[in-house]
A and B are shown apart, each in its own frame.
Chain A
Amino acid sequence: MQEHARQMTTERPLENEAQQKTSEISDKKVKQLRSKKKRNEMFVIIGFMAPALLIYGLYVVYSIGMTFYYSLFEWSGIDNNMVFTGLQNYITLISDSVFWTSMQNNFLLVAASLLTQLPLGLIMALLLFSPVKGMRFFRSIYFMPFLMSTVAIGILFIYIYDGNFGLINQVLGQLGLESWQHGWLGEEGTAIWAVIATVCWQFAPFYMILFRAAIVGIPEDLYEAADIDGANSWKKFQNITLPLLMPTIVTSAILSIIGSLKYFDLIYVMTDGGPNNSTELMATYMYEQTFTNFNMGYGSSISFSMFIIAFIVTAIIIFFEQRRKGAN
């Protein structure tokens, strides 16, 4: 009321000032409202993300840091007697021949996975689009290994590889190839290959699914255009399917490499790294050192090395993939 009266009696310049004042007030109000809204939004963001961040942070982020921390100690993990030794565990690791064997086996598994799982998966996926009848049935069977529990697969293949009554030796016997018979998992020379073959058997169907999904996404009219140009199936595969599958192939390669570098379950069940460490992988060796020999510090240095190796390998793939994309 008072303000209104003042406005009536004052001259124009003052009136302007008053107007300015009210606009300032509303500006302030808007700002206040905005910051209130922002604060409100911040609460929403925190509220929605906190539970996931907390559990992820605790079990993944914090744990990786702690693994590095533990790797700097000589520690059994049972008592509180932690002796700080700096990088000593890593120095020991470098001259540990079992670790090198296990790493070599991991890279053997990487190579075998890339060379067998991906092509097998691709062939299976392509077959699913072929005019072969009853493909639904074929697909269901193709996919089964991936759904079986790894432990079940491991135990099943122990019997298949068995030296006395195992399926493989029986078949070899029937074919008159007795000299080829082996105690597949019991001999150093054959054990790693027997185990790798099983891993490939288990995971090829997984890549079949990835490739199938990618092939479904390729536009049909590309093939129609190629048909008009008189291209045969091979040409169509070479010039349409394969280039368009490239991103999926790269993803599959990354998954396959990372999977192979951290592989554990099947080896643990089938051979537990034996005979004589010939099937040892980094993960099985880490388990053995940590939970069997109670060298928790040393085990931590193995697992942190696995993390570094996986990280470097992934970085290299992504680097080359970016360059390839750039070159195109």
Chain B
Amino acid sequence: MLKKLNQIPLYVLAIALLLFTGVPFFIMVSASFKSQIEFMGSPWALPENFSFENYRLLFESDFFHFFLNSVIVSVISVVAVIVLAAMASYPLARMKFKLNRPLFLLFLVGMMIPIHTTLIPIFLLTKNLGLYDTIWALPGPYIAFAIPVSIVIFTQFLQELPKELEESAKMDGCGHFRLFWRILFPLLTPAVATVAIYNFIQIWNEFVFALVLTNSESNATLPLGLREFYGQFSVNVPGIMAALTLGSLPLLLVYLLAQEKIVKGIAAGSVKG
């Protein structure tokens, strides 16, 4: 009995936090199903009759163009980070050489650096490379800033693999390249998932580089596109709410499908650094 009673404050706290975190999200989704007239009348009440009109209008807009840009940039960046960081981690984790420790530290420091410190040179560099205002301007900095965390995660996993793997492979005359890609890399799958998810969340929502390195609407990623919508249709609040909802949907879906992996990824990406 006492135990049951003790739980009441816990429930109160849990529900209070639920409202705190959930209500803004809830009203965003609910407003997206309203007509503009209904929103004017009672902006924050539940919609009386659900209308998909706002979503239908999004299909006619540039929304999916922004969406596609985000998909292309994120996928390219994440795949490249996995390949580059995993390769760089192999000597760092499993070979002894003079610069091993300093090089690892050099990468580690990257996690502390405010990206804004690099913004101006990267802007000029991108211009000089002729990539300014194309979506190809973005993977470079995204990959570079994702490398430190990814290397930390990969080296940790690699160090845990048994030494015998290499020895027996070398006995059979297997070179480093094949050893890494054929034997070690497949064993890294959990680390790859962690790195992929952690970086995907960051890159999908990235804003500053996209803001500075692109200019035209046709090269905007989703975060920029949402801001574009806000600028153009700020009177049509339900329409914007529909865009915000749809823009947040991919990560929420990924989260619902791979909750544990995401949680692990974030914890590994930060705690161990």
The answer to whether the Cβ of B163 comes within 8 Å of any Cβ in the partner chain is: no
Asked if A52 contacts B87 (CB within 8 A), the reply is yes
Q: List 10 A-B contacts (CB under 8 A).
A: A45-B91, A55-B84, A63-B117, A70-B121, A123-B17, A147-B251, A149-B244, A209-B267, A210-B271, A303-B116
Asked if B112 contacts A311 (CB within 8 A), the reply is yes
Distance in angstroms between the alpha carbons of A204 and B145 in the assembled complex: 23
Asked if A52 contacts B85 (CB within 8 A), the reply is yes
The answer to whether the Cβ of B264 comes within 8 Å of any Cβ in the partner chain is: yes
Residues of B within 8 A of A287 (CB): 116, 119, 208, 212
The answer to whether the Cβ of A299 comes within 8 Å of any Cβ in the partner chain is: yes
Asked if A209 contacts B263 (CB within 8 A), the reply is yes
Asked if B91 contacts A49 (CB within 8 A), the reply is yes
Asked if A304 contacts B117 (CB within 8 A), the reply is yes
Contact of A63 among B14, B121, B248, B255 (CB under 8 A): B121
Residues of B within 8 A of A303 (CB): 114, 116-117, 119-120
Asked if A138 contacts B252 (CB within 8 A), the reply is no
Further pairs besides A56-B107, A141-B21, A152-B247: 8, Cβ < 8 Å: A44-B176, A49-B103, A52-B147, A56-B148, A131-B10, A149-B223, A282-B116, A307-B117
User: Residues of A at under 8 Å CB distance from B?
Assistant: 41-42, 44-45, 47-49, 51-53, 55-56, 58-64, 66-67, 70, 77, 120, 123-124, 127, 130-132, 135, 138, 140-145, 147-153, 155-160, 165, 167, 170, 201, 204-206, 209-210, 212-214, 248, 251-252, 255, 258, 261-262, 264-265, 268-269, 282-283, 286-287, 290-291, 296, 299-300, 303-304, 306-307, 310-311, 314
* Complex: chain B residue closest to A166, CB-CB: B43
User: Residues of B at under 8 Å CB distance from A?
Assistant: 7, 10-11, 13-14, 17-18, 20-22, 24-25, 27-28, 40, 43-44, 84-85, 87-88, 90-92, 95, 97, 103, 106-107, 110, 112-122, 124-125, 140-141, 143-145, 147-148, 151, 176-177, 180, 201, 204-205, 207-208, 211-212, 222-224, 226-227, 230, 237, 240-241, 244, 247-248, 251-252, 255-256, 259, 263-264, 266-267, 270-271, 273
Residues of B within 8 A of A209 (CB): 263, 266-267
Distance in angstroms between the alpha carbons of A149 and B5 in the assembled complex: 39
* Complex: chain B residue closest to A299, CB-CB: B120
Asked if B90 contacts A48 (CB within 8 A), the reply is yes
Distance in angstroms between the alpha carbons of A300 and B107 in the assembled complex: 23
Contacts known (A49-B103, A127-B17, A167-B44); A307 close to B248, Cβ less than 8 A: no
Distance in angstroms between the alpha carbons of A121 and B30 in the assembled complex: 27
Asked if B22 contacts A144 (CB within 8 A), the reply is yes
Asked if B180 contacts A55 (CB within 8 A), the reply is no
Distance in angstroms between the alpha carbons of A210 and B211 in the assembled complex: 30
Asked if B230 contacts A155 (CB within 8 A), the reply is yes
Contact of B20 among A153, A201, A290 (CB under 8 A): A201
Distance in angstroms between the alpha carbons of A67 and B123 in the assembled complex: 11
Contacts known (A41-B97, A265-B208, A304-B117); A127 close to B14, Cβ less than 8 A: yes
Contact of A49 among B88, B115, B270 (CB under 8 A): B88
Residues of B within 8 A of A51 (CB): 84, 87-88
Asked if B141 contacts A59 (CB within 8 A), the reply is yes
Asked if A262 contacts B115 (CB within 8 A), the reply is yes
Distance in angstroms between the alpha carbons of A210 and B151 in the assembled complex: 19
Asked if A290 contacts B208 (CB within 8 A), the reply is no
Asked if B21 contacts A144 (CB within 8 A), the reply is yes
Asked if B120 contacts A157 (CB within 8 A), the reply is no
Distance in angstroms between the alpha carbons of A210 and B44 in the assembled complex: 33
B147 CB to nearest chain A CB (Å): 5
Asked if B84 contacts A52 (CB within 8 A), the reply is yes
Asked if B112 contacts A314 (CB within 8 A), the reply is yes
Residues of B within 8 A of A150 (CB): 205, 207, 223
A138 CB to nearest chain B CB (Å): 6
Residues of B within 8 A of A152 (CB): 28, 223, 226, 244, 247-248
* Complex: chain A residue closest to B92, CB-CB: A49
Contact of B259 among A53, A60, A140, A258 (CB under 8 A): A140
Distance in angstroms between the alpha carbons of A53 and B208 in the assembled complex: 23
Asked if B144 contacts A141 (CB within 8 A), the reply is no
Residues of A within 8 A of B120 (CB): 66-67, 70, 77, 290, 296, 299-300, 303
* Complex: chain B residue closest to A153, CB-CB: B24
* Complex: chain B residue closest to A127, CB-CB: B14
Asked if A127 contacts B122 (CB within 8 A), the reply is no
Lowest 6 A-B CB distances belong to which pairs? Answer: A213-B267, A59-B144, A262-B114, A63-B118, A52-B88, A66-B121
